[in-house]
Amino acid sequence: MELQKKLSILSDSAKYDASCASGKSGDPNASGICHSWSSDGRCVSLLKILMTNICEFDCNYCINRKSSDVQRAIFTPREIAKLTSDFYKRNYIEGLFLSSGVVKNVDYTTERMIDSIEILRREFNFRGYVHLKLIPGADPFLIKKAMESADRVSVNVELPSSNSLELLAPDKSKEKIFNSMKTGRDVISEKRGTLTTTMTTQMIVGATDDSDKKIISLSENFYKRSFLKRVYYSAYIPVNEGKNLPATTSAPPLLREHRLYQTDWLLRFYGFNAEEIFKNRTTLDYSLDPKSDWALHSLGKFPLEINEAPYEDLLRVPGVGVRSALRIVKARRVGKLKKEDLKKLGVVLKRARYFLKVGGKYLGAVRFDYEPIKRSLLGVDKKRLVQPSLFEFNESFKEAITGEL
Amino acid sequence: MINYFYDGTFHGYLSTIFQIYFQKKEPTQILKERDSDGILGEYIFIETIEKEVKRVKKGIEEKLGSRSFYELKLLFLSEIKEFEMIGYRFLKVCFKNPLEKENLGNIDIKNFKIIVRRVLNERHKMLGFVRFEKVEDGFFFSQINPDFNQLPIIAEEFIERLRDEKFIIYDKKRGLSFFYENGVTFLTYASIDQEIKIDKEECAIKDLWKLFFKKIAIKERKNILLQNSKIPAKYRDNILEFKEN
Digit-coded pLDDT (tens) for B178-207: 999 988 999 998 887 777 788 888 999 999
Cα–Cα distance for residue pair A254/A383, rounded to 1 Å: 15
Residue of A7, A22, A91 to mutate for B, most B C-beta atoms under 10 A: A91
Using left for φ > 0, alpha for ψ between -120 and 50, and beta otherwise, residue A158 falls in left
Q: Quick one: pLDDT at residue A85?
A: 97
**Among A135, A119, A129, A134, CA closest to A150:** A129
Strands (E), B13-111: 29-32, 42-45
Average pLDDT, chain A: 86
Cα–Cα distance for residue pair A342/A340, rounded to 1 Å: 6
Phi, psi of B38 (to 5 degrees): 70, 20
- Whether residues A41 and B219 touch (CB distance < 8 A) is answered with no
- Report whether B118 contacts B148 (CB < 8 A): yes
Would you tell me how many other CB atoms lie within 10 Å of the CB of residue A303?
A: 21
Give the helix/strand (H/E) hosting B5. Answer: strand B2-6
Cα A223 versus chain centre, distance: 13
Q: From residue A104, give the alpha-carbon distance in Å to each of A11, A52, A62, A86.
A: 21, 11, 18, 29
Phi, psi of A220 (to 5 degrees): -60, -45
Confidence of residue A20 (pLDDT cuts 50, 70, 90): low
- B63 vs A167 pLDDT, higher one: B63
Q: Quick one: pLDDT at residue A401?
A: 52
Q: Determine whether A319 is exposed, middle or buried from the number of CB atoms within 10 Å of its CB (0-12, 13-18, 19+).
A: buried
Cα–Cα distance for residue pair B119/B147, rounded to 1 Å: 9
| Mean pLDDT on A27-56 | 82
* Residue of B207, B212, B224 with shortest CB distance to A11: B212
Cα–Cα distance for residue pair B149/B74, rounded to 1 Å: 9
Task: Please write the tens of the pLDDT for every residue from B94-140.
Answer: 999 998 888 888 999 999 999 999 999 999 999 999 999 999 888 99
- Whether residues B99 and A47 touch (CB distance < 8 A) is answered with no
Would you tell me how many other CB atoms lie within 10 Å of the CB of residue B200?
A: 9
Q: How high is the ipTM of this complex?
A: 0.90
- A227 vs A294 pLDDT, higher one: A294
Q: Quick one: pLDDT at residue B47?
A: 93
- Whether residues A83 and B208 touch (CB distance < 8 A) is answered with yes
Phi, psi of A26 (to 5 degrees): 85, -5
Cα–Cα distance for residue pair A178/A182, rounded to 1 Å: 6
* Residue of B102, B160, B225 with shortest CB distance to A389: B225
Contacts of A14 in chain B (CB under 8 A): 216
- Whether residues A41 and B230 touch (CB distance < 8 A) is answered with yes
**Chain A CA closest to residue B235:** A36
- Whether residues B221 and A88 touch (CB distance < 8 A) is answered with no
- Whether residues B102 and A345 touch (CB distance < 8 A) is answered with no
Confidence of residue A402 (pLDDT cuts 50, 70, 90): low
Cα–Cα distance for residue pair A48/A31, rounded to 1 Å: 18
Residue of A12, A46, A92, A327 to mutate for B, most B C-beta atoms under 10 A: A92
Determine contact: B40 vs chain A, CB below 8 A: no
Task: Please write the tens of the pLDDT for every residue from A125-140.
Answer: 999 999 999 998 999 9
> Residues A384, A387, A390, CA angle at the centre, nearest 5°?
45
* Residue of B208, B223, B227 with shortest CB distance to A7: B208
* Min Cα–Cα distance to chain A from B170, Å: 15
**Chain A CA closest to residue B134:** A90
- Residues 106 through 125 of chain B touching chain A, CB cutoff 8 Å: 110, 124
**Single-letter amino acid, residue B183:** G
Confidence of residue A316 (pLDDT cuts 50, 70, 90): very high
Q: Quick one: pLDDT at residue A29?
A: 45
User: In the 8-state DSSP scheme, what is residue A13?
Assistant: G
* Min Cα–Cα distance to chain A from B139, Å: 11
Confidence of residue B219 (pLDDT cuts 50, 70, 90): confident
Collapse the DSSP code of A400 into the 3-class scheme (helix H, G, I; strand E, B; otherwise coil) and give the result.
helix
Give start and end residues of each alpha helix (H) in A210-309: 212-225, 254-269, 274-278, 290-296
Collapse the DSSP code of B75 into the 3-class scheme (helix H, G, I; strand E, B; otherwise coil) and give the result.
helix
Cα–Cα distance for residue pair A130/A197, rounded to 1 Å: 10
- Report whether A38 contacts B226 (CB < 8 A): no
**Chain A CA closest to residue B124:** A33
**Among B81, B87, B32, CA closest to B56:** B87
Cα–Cα distance for residue pair A239/B48, rounded to 1 Å: 67
Q: Quick one: pLDDT at residue A28?
A: 45
* Residue of A48, A341, A391 with shortest CB distance to B216: A48
**Chain A CA closest to residue B159:** A89
- Whether residues B223 and A330 touch (CB distance < 8 A) is answered with no
* Min Cα–Cα distance to chain B from A111, Å: 25
Q: From residue B169, give the alpha-carbon distance in Å to each of A134, B127, B238.
A: 38, 12, 12
**Among B200, B159, B207, CA closest to A89:** B159
Cα–Cα distance for residue pair A89/A86, rounded to 1 Å: 5
Determine contact: B93 vs chain A, CB below 8 A: no
Collapse the DSSP code of A182 into the 3-class scheme (helix H, G, I; strand E, B; otherwise coil) and give the result.
helix
- Whether residues A334 and B103 touch (CB distance < 8 A) is answered with yes
Q: Which range is least confidently modeled, A98-102, A128-132, A346-350, B239-243?
A: B239-243
* Residue of B99, B133, B223 with shortest CB distance to A334: B99
- Whether residues A91 and B142 touch (CB distance < 8 A) is answered with yes
Contacts of B213 in chain A (CB under 8 A): 36, 38, 44
Contacts of A252 in chain B (CB under 8 A): 220-221
Strands (E), A46-175: 46-50, 95-99, 129-133, 152-154
| Mean pLDDT on B143-162 | 94
pTM for this model (two decimals)? 0.82
Q: Are strands B184-189 and B176-181 parallel, antiparallel or unpaired?
A: antiparallel
Cα–Cα distance for residue pair A151/A198, rounded to 1 Å: 6
Cα–Cα distance for residue pair A307/A398, rounded to 1 Å: 26
